[in-house]
Amino acid sequence: MILVTGGRGFLGGAIVRLLREQGEQVRSLARHPSEALEDIGVEQFIGDLTDQVLVDQAVSGCDLVYHVAAKAGVWGRYEDFYRSNVSGTQNVITACRQAGVLRLVYTSSPSVVFDGNDMEGVDETVPYPDKFHAFYPQTKALAEQLVLAANDEQLATVALRPHLIWGPGDNHLVPRILERGSKGQLRKVGAGSKLVDSVYITNAARSHLQAAAALSPGSAVAGKAYFIANNEPLPLWDLINRILAAGNLPPVTRTISPRLAYAAGAILELIYRSFNLPGEPPMTRFVAKELATAHWFDLSAAKNDFGYCPEISVEQGLQRLESWLQQGHLREA
């Protein structure tokens, strides 16, 4: 039996479907039930990662756990991010030990090592930064360290860091781009020439299965973190404009300087926090830094240690995304 936390989410759901295609018995732990998971025979546990009893029940009888669930976002209270991402992860680790689970695959993020500067061809030796620009990467870094420190002779652990996951079924990145693009709210930060690597959803999901297949106590992948991407660095705004085109929206042409974007983010954060405004600021310091810097990685470790090789190119993925959008799936979601 295999458990996928966050099994009704974008990445978690893709992992679940791949596992079911292979004939695996799968459970999902998520905050809400899913008819789609029910239709493919997935056992569902409904609730929160902070509920240790529920997590114990979901993990019981499993020999492999994919911990994908997390609180994502660029805005919110630290306590909420910590509760989901750190406390929730500790509960998963505790449950794995109690149930005798052999393998734990954790979904992390490259943002756990982002210090606000360009990341050009970096590998997994890059250290955690001294300062984070948002609570999401800060708490994900703490959780990743918990997972890697838990690796031992009884429980083998590995952390994967997929970057900017997108594709059909996306309920986060693509909808945000299309919504803001439709309202004319997008601006290029800087010249727009910085290279950024992303990862198509199927490649991201398959990387998790490949890492799990190579994972065992004492194996080459145990206790390590790995960057995951498509190995196709592109100027960020080229990718964004292609996604906009897939949604029949015009490209982004207007620009804002990185310094001005960062200053605007700082001011908007102060206003939103001071007046306890709903939603999230249209710009934050973290987003300004992300949009103005390069993010692409040396994927040699993932290729060498567990055979990662992206099968769907960016071009192929964009064609699939356009077809999905034209069928109206995003509006249905």
Give me 46's structure tokens.
């409904």
Structure tokens at 317: 């993925």
Residues with Cβ within 8 Å of 286's Cβ and at least 6 positions away in sequence, in order, are 74, 133, 134, 136, 137, 265
pLDDT of amino acid 327: 87
Q: Which residues pair with 45 in a beta bridge?
A: 29
Q: Is 104 helix (H, G, I), strand (E, B) or coil?
A: strand
Provide the CATH topology of domain 2-332: Rossmann fold (3.40.50)
This prediction's pTM? 0.95
Count CB-CB contacts under 10 A for residue 43. Answer: 15
The residues spanned by each domain of the chain are 2-332
Residue-wise pLDDT for 10-41, tens only, equals 999 999 999 999 999 999 999 999 999 999 99
Pair 77, 138: CB distance under 8 Å: no
Length of the chain measured in residues: 333
Catalytic residue among 66, 106, 128, 136: 136
Q: Give residue-wise pLDDT tens across range 106-130.
A: 999 999 999 999 999 999 999 999 9
- Catalytic: 136? yes
pLDDT attached to residue 328: 78
Quote helix, strand, coil % in the chain, to nearest 5. Answer: 45, 15, 40
For residue 236, give both structure tokens. Answer: 């960020």
CA–CA gap between residue 86 and residue 64 (Å, rounded):
20
- How confident is the model over 152-156, as a mean pLDDT? 98
Q: What single letter denotes the amino acid at residue 163?
A: H
Over its C-alpha atoms, the chain yields an Rg (Å, rounded) of 19
Q: Give the CB-side neighbour count of residue 11, counting CA atoms within 13 A.
A: 30
Question: What is the Cα–Cα distance from 331 to 94, expressed in whole angstroms?
Answer: 39
8 Å CB contact between 208 and 160: yes
